[in-house]
Amino acid sequence: MKAFIDYQMERMNKSRLPHYVYISEDNKIYKVKDEDIIDFLKERGVSEVYIESAPVKWLYNLLDNCFKVYTLRDKVLISNTEGNVM
């Protein structure tokens, strides 16, 4: 099963926000605390995680717990000087 995670960064002087986890098979978004993420993913039967960005240590924690981790990157169209799209 696949999960898409929107990693929430820690904010100064505020409690940490939960991460948003979308599981496509459930068609539902879950709010999961940082310390509960591994157990939550295992309980839901997730084997693949897709994430835009997160600290390297956090990603290695997922890998160390036998999840396949895919990072998503924004692909921007680049045009040359004549205005043509490459």
Query: What tens digit of pLDDT does each residue of 3-26 get?
Result: 999 998 877 666 678 999 999 999
What is the pTM (predicted TM-score) of this model? Answer: 0.77
pLDDT of 17 reads: 84
Residue 6 CA: distances (Å) to CA of 18, 54, 55, 61, 79: 9, 9, 12, 16, 30
User: Token match 């897709």: residue?
Assistant: 50
Query: What tens digit of pLDDT does each residue of 55-74 get?
Result: 899 999 999 999 999 988 76
Look up residue 75 and give its amino acid. K
pLDDT of 77 reads: 52
Domain chopping of the chain, boundaries:
2-71
